[in-house]
Amino acid sequence: MTYFDQVSEAATFLKSKLGSVAPRNGIVLGSGLGAVADAVADPIVIPYGEIPHFPQSTVEGHSGRLVAGLMAEIPVVVMQGRVHFYEGYTPQQVTFPMRVLGALGIQAVILTNAAGGIGEGLHIGQLVALADHINFMGFNPLNGSNEARFGFQPGAGLRFFDMTEAYSKRLRALAQEAAASEGFQLAEGVYLAVPGPSFETPAEIRAFRTLGATLVGMSTVPETIVARHMGIEVLGISCVTNLAAGLGATQLSHAEVFEAGRGVEHSLACLFKRLLPAIAADMESKP
């Protein structure tokens, strides 16, 4: 069975479970942010282990469930956790769930993550919209033969495609408006992705800052690349869960990351409840 066939089988299985729910918007929740899925009304909960060929998360803070239903009356599918390259998965396995979301008909996806803060003025618990990224993971998930059938949206599935706007300016503008309505400013930053699982050294953080990075993490970039290959618009939102190595007074730990993520779950859920109707209305207005 080919990779495309595996994706198709997983999507067919999910469609049979979702019934009349036909979401065009997806959300991927990073470390410590899983409770945001509790904001989904009338949820249909499907453990990753029940989905054909779906990879299983082995990291604390990633529940490993797909939750579909309504958020602020908008159909949405939420991935409660993701898998990572450092868990031993291949790039294709890491991005398999994103391929399945594309096959389900998702047109816009919000990718969240826990990130270390590099930029001046960032503080723990701050939400930051991604304006761009730097890929230091050592791979591109599209290496190998191109499968044009993954072009689920018009003009997508190309071997070579533009990444000038990896993170949608349109979605970022809507997110800024939603955040302002919620009473806070959504900063923007550049996310640098590393393979992990060890945290970075202070020297590496100094180098990353010189390159223009304001955030550092171990996910999101492979999903973004694959989403753009399929023509899906991407909004990336990082939660600053720690100050990067050498910038804080304490040693880094996953427990610290997890607890900081838990602290912003409510704010993030409120943001999404305001943002999703705006995205849906904007989609309807597009020709």
Q: Which residues are catalytic?
A: 31, 62, 84, 86-87, 114, 218-219, 242, 254
Do 217 and 114 contact (CB within 8 A), yes or no? Answer: yes
Tell me the Cα Rg of the chain. 18
Do 14 and 52 contact (CB within 8 A), yes or no? Answer: no
| CA–CA gap between residue 12 and residue 34 (Å, rounded) | 25
DSSP 67: E
Q: Which residues, other chains included, contact 96 with Cβ-Cβ below 8 Å and sequence gap of 6+?
A: 6, 7, 10, 53, 54, 55
E-state strands within 148-281: 187-193, 215-217, 233-243
